[in-house]
Structure 1
């Protein structure tokens, strides 16, 4: 299987605006932001989607949420933010590599669309 665009960014084969990186994940600015702040929290280890995650992935999934929270604090999103994970074409998934969207910087409506 060919590398996903995220794997190519992690391997530094493609450029990206990186906000944070550690041994488990990388945080990028979305190329097509849907809010003033729109980051992607991406695990370095490929998990195709949340429905494919296994029990042994729990620590990594928890880490992604902790990093998203840390990024929200760093970017002063105390007024509110949204975390989103898309699954499948009907869920809006565009890259088959699990990731968490962090959106903020404005009031976010519900339902999202």
Structure 2
């Protein structure tokens, strides 16, 4: 979700209030400059935590925060497009590097991020 106002060097070093590490990069890499984007979705830490636990329980995928957030975005795209489309995302990290925060129940509890969803209702899906 790059904007010129958030270009590298124009904001604080860590301006994002998130436990989802790596989200909110404020620079455009060369490969990203070539991308033809139709839009972007903003997700929350709560959605990423809930999605990671949903995918672990239901699909056996032990994902990191970035992968979980990518899945939140993929579901948002699917919701906006409706049935009959194929959605692809990248699972770019595992949960192994996220044990001290993203998978730490006490840490998440302190931030009010304890996962509670039984399904995908946190994304308004029944």
Higher strand content, 1 or 2 = 1
Q: Which has the larger radius of gyration?
A: 2
TM-score normalized by the length of structure 1 = 0.27
